[in-house]
A = this chain, B = another copy of it.
Amino acid sequence: MSGFVLHPRLAADTAFVADWGLSRVLLMDDARYPWAILVPRRADAMEMFDLDAHDRAALTEEVVHVARTLKAMSGARKINIGALGNLVPQLHIHVVARSEGDAAWPGPVWGHGTAIRYEPARRDAFVEELRARMQGASL
């Protein structure tokens, strides 16, 4: 993991949830959608193909674990998964629980409007619930 430093933009926009085998798991501080971000703790990774095959397989399973958890917590209709990085080059994977009638439905959340930050106690409660559910289920 040497050399890994979270991009300051990601640090500013999220709350810490957990460090897993590969990824740092973050909650996007945007109350409009249940929205997690996974950042592989590898220095200088920008594209999926910058990771080796072992890390890519681990990342896929970590993404799926978060996706399942957000789906169960929110009852969302669809999970959106995205790796864009046009603005923040550090490789990071969005996992967003989408529901009909949410702020951007049926369009993508990226670039849509302005984040509405959580009230801090609500954000902390969400992080705690995410942690508890993800620890309680096998990866």
Contact = CB atoms under 8 A, between A and B. Distances in A.
Interface of A: 46-49, 53, 56-57, 59-61, 63-64, 67-68, 71, 77-87, 89, 98, 105-108, 110-111
Main secondary structure of the interface of A (DSSP, over half): mixed
Given A49-B67, A64-B56, A67-B47, A108 B84 contact: yes
Contact of A82 (B46, B60, B81): B81
Given A53-B61, A60-B60, A80 B78 contact: no
A78 B85 contact: yes
Given A85-B80, A86-B78, A56 B47 contact: no
Nearest to A71: B47
A111 B53 CA distance: 32
Contacts of A48: 60, 63-64, 67, 79, 81
Contact of A57 (B57, B83, B84): B57
